[in-house]
Amino acid sequence: MAIAVDLLGGDHAPEAPLRGALDARSGMAVPLLLVGPRDPVRSLLDATPGEASGGAPVQFVEASDRIGMEEHPVEAVRKKRDASLVVAARLLKEGRASALVSAGNTGAVLAASLLHVGRLPGVERPALAVVLPLFEGPVVLIDAGANVDCPPSHLLQFGVLGRAFARVLLGIQQPRVGLLNIGEEPSKGNEAAQQAHGLMAGRIDGFVGNVEGKDVFAGACDVVVCDGFVGNVLLKSMEGFASSLLGAIRQAALQTVRGRLGGLLLKPALGGLRDRLDYRTYGGAFLVGVRGVVVVAHGRSDARAMSNAVRMAARGVQDGLVAALEAAVAGLSKGERADGIGQRP
Amino acid sequence: MAIAVDLLGGDHAPEAPLRGALDARSGMAVPLLLVGPRDPVRSLLDATPGEASGGAPVQFVEASDRIGMEEHPVEAVRKKRDASLVVAARLLKEGRASALVSAGNTGAVLAASLLHVGRLPGVERPALAVVLPLFEGPVVLIDAGANVDCPPSHLLQFGVLGRAFARVLLGIQQPRVGLLNIGEEPSKGNEAAQQAHGLMAGRIDGFVGNVEGKDVFAGACDVVVCDGFVGNVLLKSMEGFASSLLGAIRQAALQTVRGRLGGLLLKPALGGLRDRLDYRTYGGAFLVGVRGVVVVAHGRSDARAMSNAVRMAARGVQDGLVAALEAAVAGLSKGERADGIGQRP
């Protein structure tokens, strides 16, 4: 039971992953395996004052190569056997670690997880689960970008995985699961969504049917299921829109003396909101459906974001996330094969 | 050259469409055809003080039936030949009107337009174009929900229609057209997006390639092209997120005396933003690719929203929107058939 941290992933590697991992240790019991090159990591480690201050034990695992953000994921993972990400994934395969945290190339993290960590029995496609920090409460978005062109059976599995994820990591006993669609009626939407509605109804406890974009932000469900293309567009649009809207508020406030004063007084309140929407507060996306806890942190992650990502991974390990996901998918498979699940119509 | 206004469409019919139509007349040259029941419309008209105050001439066209928001679009349009929407669509077919404005059942407006108004030559599927009032400048989203499961050739046409739309209605001489996707590289995204990228490159002037959700809000393009499923999710999510974020700002401000004072001072500035994001400011979506200007207003439209929708329709008529769209699609078709456009691989 350890967390392998990829020190060479992300825009601010190796400083941010290293700093973040060390910061995350306090009060954490799960040991850390820092995967990266001896230098400059050793010297950074030596220079870190917090090193001896307790918390989770740390071990260093050497890996000299790195996979760049622009490299072809599968090719890079196959060729670069000494890349920090690949070495970290092998630690999971060998049972030396139960979790992996990387801010590197998302496609490469997926590829390394599939090639070296492997899927849970019965899982057709692992998916990215992201916790959206909405004002009405956190909502799990699944799939946030791992799979495009998803047949209905994949959407059903995302719902099952997302529900188990919300139970374990958000502590919601009876999560409400919604299918993202463009209308409330079961007959609405594209072919995949229409058929997924039929598959999910009756098979997923707490299925609330179709939810529209606006419902997601009105607290209509705890888990929202969609194709990774739609999920990724939604996630990135939210990010872009929030930053655009907060920028516009700032600009509007700066235009008059009255507005400037108002903005100054409102700053602490707006700052709290900005923090809440900030990707760093929450750390990363979980790749669910593989034989380990895999957290993909934002490529822009700084030390704070990386630290949160490592803490999230520790929660996943300690709360038995993988076992819960495995049980959920096993429960789905039993006696359901006859209904054509897994076959694209 | 007249605008047919469906008086029985939307949550606030007939008052809001009628009031909105009458309000829109001042300074407008295009005549209005008000389509609805003699009563209570006649009495409302008689009681309207602005009636004689000049502006566009108004004529009344009787239609007693209405199509409800929950009715099956195609069936309802086929059966209810006296519904205000169907009568209005026939006015376009007969050449008595060149535009139609309705806040009714969107599916029924699409069905009535297809059945009675008809497509422009060469248009495979009409699409909904919506002007997003973003802070970095207006952006045309096409398709915002008319078509799901779009093959690449449809996405190409949406790009061509959207570009012509932005030129005419937003006055942008060289609109930048982006394909909504989950990565910048041409190889990213689902099958339809990958192939659409290939079709659009070289065939659309000002094609800027793939744009991600966050790029749309950073001013990366003037026209964003996507499948109607994705577009509708994006549109409604934006609506939901904006209202949720503004609500959260309000709540955060109310929690402290300092915040309350700040909120009070900032109110005019925030009010401007709220207005800007309000669907009423901008009126509705254009169904482009049919033989007339068709504006679908929000079902919740009040008189102000309806008035803006009628003004938008008038601009479309006066600026020759339909002719521009027809020319754009004709330009695309010439010599392009051999490339497999129109065939789903």
B108 falls within a domain: yes
> Is B339 within the bounds of a domain?
no
Cβ contact, residue pair A213, B193, below 8 Å: no
Contact A136 B217 (CB under 8 A): no
Shortest CA distance from B72: residue in chain A: A187
Using CA coordinates, name the residue in chain A closest to B179. A233
Contact A237 B238 (CB under 8 A): yes
**Residue B260 included in any domain:** yes
Q: What is the nearest CA distance from B140 to chain A, expressed in angstroms?
A: 15
Average confidence (pLDDT) over A273-300: 84
Query: Is the Cα torsion angle A50, A51, A57, A62 positive or negative in sign?
Result: positive
* Least confident range of A39-53, B80-94, B151-165, B325-339: A39-53
Mutate to test the interface with B, among A149, A249, A266, A273 (most CBs of B within 10 A): A266
Write the residue in B230, B261, B264 that is nearest to A233 by C-beta. Answer: B230
How large is the average pLDDT for residues A227-231?
96
For residue B267 the two structure tokens come to 């109110």
Predicted local distance difference test score (pLDDT) of residue A278:
66
> Does any domain span residue A31?
yes
- CA-nearest of A131, A14, A107 to A5 is A14
Q: What is the mean pLDDT of residues A130-141?
A: 89
One domain for residues B118 and B133:
no
pLDDT band (50, 70, 90) for residue A344: very low
**Mean pLDDT value across residues A68-92:** 93
The average pLDDT across A98-127 equals: 95
Helix (H, G, I), strand (E, B) or coil at B80: coil
Q: What is the mean pLDDT of residues A85-100?
A: 97
- Yes or no, beta carbons of B265 and A268 under 8 Å apart: no
Q: Tell me what percent of chain A is helix, strand and coil, each rounded to the nearest 5.
A: 50, 15, 35
Question: Band of the pLDDT at B49, cuts 50, 70, 90?
Answer: low
Residue B97: inside a domain: yes
pLDDT in tens, B176-219: 999 999 988 888 899 999 999 999 998 999 999 999 999 999 99
Residue B340 has pLDDT above 50, yes or no: no
Tokens 């055809």 locate to B33
The answer to whether the CB atoms of B258 and A244 lie below 8 A apart is no
pLDDT at site B65: 93
B117 and B130 assigned to the same domain: no
What pLDDT does B158 receive?
98
Residues 6+ apart with CB under 8 A from B337: none
Interface mutation target, options B148, B155, B251, chain A, most CBs of A under 10 Å: B148
Residue A25 has pLDDT above 50, yes or no: yes
Joined tokens for residue B336:
């392009």
**Per-residue pLDDT at A200 exceeds 50:** yes
The residue in chain B having the minimum alpha-carbon distance to the alpha carbon of residue A277 is B245
Select from A210, A245, A344 the residue whose CB has the most chain B CBs within 10 Å, as the one to mutate to test that interface.
A245
* pLDDT surpassing 70 at residue B321: yes
Average pLDDT over all residues of chain A: 89
Distance from CA of B69 to the nearest CA of A (A): 12
Looking at the predicted structure, is the pLDDT value of residue A143 above 70? yes
- Nearest residue in chain B measured CA to CA from A256: B269
Chain A closest-CA separation from residue B104 CA (Å):
15
Asked if pLDDT for residue B222 goes beyond 70, the answer is: yes
Q: Which two tokens stand for residue B44?
A: 């409302």
Residue B99 has pLDDT above 90, yes or no: yes
User: Are residues B92 and B178 located together in one domain of the fold?
Assistant: no
Instruction: Provide the CATH number for the domain around residue A173.
Output: 3.40.718.10
Q: In chain B, whose CA is at the least distance from the CA of A148?
A: B190
B194: left (phi over 0), alpha (psi -120 to 50) or beta: alpha
pLDDT at B52 over 60: no
Cβ–Cβ of A180/B233 closer than 8 Å?
yes
User: Residues 6 or more apart from A63 whose CB is under 8 A from it?
Assistant: A7, A8, A35, A36, A37, A82, A83, A84, A86, A87, A88
As a whole number, mean pLDDT of residues B63-70 equals 90
Kindly provide the residue ranges of all beta strands, DSSP E only, lying in chain A, ordered along the sequence: 3-6, 32-36, 58-62, 99-102, 127-134, 137-142, 177-180, 207-211, 223-225, 284-288, 293-297
pLDDT computed for residue B48 by the predictor: 63
Most confident of A129-143, B234-248, B309-323: B309-323
Give the model's confidence band at B118: pLDDT under 50 very low, under 70 low, under 90 confident, else very high.
Answer: very high
Interface test with A, best of B136, B214, B221 (most A CBs within 10 A): B214
Peptide bond into B143 cis (omega under 30): yes
Contact A238 B233 (CB under 8 A): no
- Kindly state whether residues A31 and A53 are assigned to the same domain: yes
Quote ipTM for the complex: 0.88
How distant is the Cα of A278 from the closest Cα of chain B, in angstroms? 13
Q: Is residue B102 part of a domain?
A: yes
Do A119 and A146 lie in one domain? The reply is: no
Q: How far is CA B333 from the centre of its chain?
A: 25
Contact call for residues A298 and A290 (beta carbons, < 8 A):
no
pLDDT at B342 over 70: no
Residue A99 lies in domain: 1-123+289-321
d(CA B248, CA B250): 5
User: Nearest CB to A269: which of B214, B215, B252?
Assistant: B252
CB spacing of A273 vs B259 below 8 angstroms: no
- CB-nearest to B262 from A232, A236, A266 is A266
Subunit contact A244:B149, Cβ cutoff 8 A:
no
Residues A159 and A295 placed together within one structural domain of the fold = no
Claim to verify: residue A117 and residue A259 sit in the same structural domain: no
The confidence score (pLDDT) of residue B104 equals 92
B330 found inside a domain: no
Q: What is the mean pLDDT of residues B78-98?
A: 96
DSSP secondary structure letter of residue B169: H
> Of the candidates A212, A228, A266, which has its C-beta nearest B263's C-beta?
A266
Tell me the average pLDDT of chain B. 89
* pLDDT for position B56: 80
Residue A234 CB coordination number (10 Å): 27
Q: Check B229 against A261: CB less than 8 A apart.
A: no
* Chain A nearest CA to B344, separation (Å): 15
The residues pairing with A295 across neighbouring beta strands, listed in sequence order, are: A101, A286
Residues from chain B contacting residue A240 (CB–CB below 8 Å): 213-218
In this prediction, residue B53 carries a pLDDT of: 57
Q: Residue B214 is nearest to which of A230, A237, A247, comparing CB atoms?
A: A237
Least confident span in A162-171, B258-267, B336-345: B336-345
Report the distance separating Cα A17 and Cα A49, nearest Å: 16
Residues B114 and B177 grouped into a single domain: no
Instruction: Using the predicted structure, report yes or no on whether residue A49 has a pLDDT greater than 80.
Output: no
Mean pLDDT across A223-241: 94
Mean pLDDT of A219-237: 95
Distance from CA of A315 to the nearest CA of B (A): 28
Residue B20 phi/psi, 5-degree rounding, is -60, -45
- Partner-chain contact A272 B256, CB within 8 Å: no
Please, what is the Cα angle at B5 between B3 and B8, to 5 degrees? 170
- The pLDDT assigned to A53 comes to 56
Per-residue confidence band for A258, with pLDDT thresholds at 50, 70 and 90: confident
Mean pLDDT for A152-177 is: 97
- Report pLDDT for B297: 93
Check CB contact under 8 Å for A243 and B217: yes
Among candidates B145, B238, B262 on the partner chain, residue whose Cβ is nearest the Cβ of A262: B262
Closest partner residue to B217 (CB to CB) among A191, A235, A244 is A244
Same domain (yes/no): B95, B3: yes
Chain-chain contact of A236 with B134 (C-beta, under 8 angstroms): no
Percent of chain B with pLDDT over 70: 91
Q: Is residue B332 part of a domain?
A: no
| CB contacts < 8 A (A, B) | 190
**Contact yes or no for B284/B312 (Cβ under 8 A):** yes
Arithmetic mean of pLDDT, A26-38: 91
Please determine, for residue B47, whether its predicted confidence score (pLDDT) is greater than 80: no
Tell me which chain A residues have a C-beta less than 8 angstroms from the C-beta of B227: 190
Residues of B in contact with A214 (CB under 8 A): 236-237, 239-240, 243
| A226 and A273 co-located in one domain | yes
Query: Is the predicted pLDDT of residue B291 greater than 70, yes or no?
Result: yes
pLDDT confidence bin for A320, thresholds 50/70/90 = very high
Mean pLDDT (whole number) for B130-144: 91
Q: How many domains does chain B have?
A: 2
Same domain, A216 and A233: yes
The answer to whether the CB atoms of B238 and A241 lie below 8 A apart is yes
Taking residue A40's Cβ as centre, other Cβ atoms within 10 Å add up to 14
**B329, B159 in Cβ contact below 8 A?**
no
B277 or A295, which is more confident? A295
Cβ-Cβ contacts under 8 Å, A245 against chain B: 135, 242, 245, 273
Q: Is the pLDDT of residue A54 over 70?
A: no
Contact yes or no for B240 and A216 at CB 8 A:
yes
CA distance B175 to chain A (A): 21
Closest residue, chain A, to B190 (C-alpha) = A148
Mutate one of A147, A185, A230 to test the B interface: name it (highest B CB count within 10 A). Answer: A230
pLDDT at residue number A336: 53
Q: Let me know whether A140 and A79 are in one domain.
A: no
Query: Which residues of chain B have a CB within 8 Å of the CB of A253?
Result: 266, 269
Do A229 and B190 make contact, defined as CB atoms within 8 angstroms?
yes
- Read off the DSSP letter of residue B49: G
Instruction: Select the more confidently predicted residue: A296 or A271.
Output: A296
Split at pLDDT 50, 70, 90, the class of A335 is very low
